[in-house]
Amino acid sequence: MKSIYGMTLKNLEDYFVSCNDKKYRATQVYEWLYRKRVTSFDEMTNLKKEVIENLKENFSLSTLQLVQKEEGKDVSKFLFELYDKEHIEAVLMQHDYGNSLCISTQVGCNMGCTFCESGRRKKVRNLQAGEMVEEILKVSETVGKRISHVVLMGIGEPFDNYDEVITFIEIINHDKGLALGSRHITISTCGIIPKIIDFSHLPYQVNLAISLHAPNDTLRSYLMPINKVYPLKELMPVLKDYVNKTHRRLTFEYILLKGVNDTEDCAHELAHLLRGINGYVNLIPYNETHYLKWKRSTPSQISKFYDILKKEKISVTIRREFGSTISAACGQLRSSKEEDEV
CB atoms within 10 A of CB 58: 13
Q: Is 264 a catalytic residue?
A: no
Residue closest to 270 by CA, chosen among 322, 232, 298? 232
Q: Is 109 a catalytic residue?
A: no
Burial class (CB in 10 A: 0-12, 13-18, 19+), 283: buried
* Separation between Cα atoms, residue 50 and residue 47, nearest integer Å: 8
Residue 195: CA atoms inside 13 Å, Cβ hemisphere, count?
19
* Separation between Cα atoms, residue 331 and residue 177, nearest integer Å: 28
Query: Where would I find the H helices in the chain?
Result: 9-18, 24-34, 49-58, 117-120, 129-143, 162-173, 193-200, 217-223, 232-246, 264-274, 299-311, 332-335
Q: Strand locations in 73-230, DSSP E?
A: 75-81, 87-95, 98-103, 106-107, 125-126, 149-152, 185-189, 207-211
Catalytic residue among 13, 70, 89, 134: 89
Catalytic residue among 109, 113, 190, 330: 330
Residues classed as catalytic: 89, 330
